[in-house]
Structure 1
């Protein structure tokens, strides 16, 4: 078992959760149970699955949860793009969030690859 808090990718994902929650707080109230809920579920799934995977018994199980986390990052990427197209976020917010999501996706892919090599 590894302490998930030691992973840089978890740290960045945790900070992204806070930023996304602050961003979606400004969305129209009519989206509270629609897009906002979906975005918040996707973003929180990223660090949550890293943490859950670290609590599992084997490296193969950790990899499985890292893949789930990566899937959530891809989902979030689309939802942020949709938010921009609906004018719920501006260009600067979109660019900022997109670059952070992209970095997390790359970090997850690298971590998966490293763990697979160590198996």
Structure 2
């Protein structure tokens, strides 16, 4: 992967083992000139294997998504536990994954996803 540092502009070259979609990985790239750190989400087209750089940011996006889903799940678990003496069943739909639709230059459309935390089973 070739990119340019957003702080100093130095060209950087990186090699990553990028999985095919729907899997997605997050890597941290560090500029060897100024030390700036950037997170990048990567996946590759399941049709042709071309790498797709989905997201560049100082934010640990994958970590934030997983942390937010964890907070939501703990909140729902707590509500369910506090109501257990009053109701038999408490069901709240929880998304199993965060996903994004991508289009490859080969013409193939596909989804990449990040699995999310789920509710405890009673």
Same fold by TM-score greater than 0.5 = no
Which has the larger Rg? Answer: 2
TM-score with structure 1 setting the length: 0.30
TM-score, normalised to structure 2's length?
A: 0.29
Q: Which structure dedicates a bigger proportion of its chain to strand?
A: 2
RCO greater where, 1 or 2, for CA within 8 Å and sep 6 or more? Answer: 1
Structure that is richer in helix per residue:
1
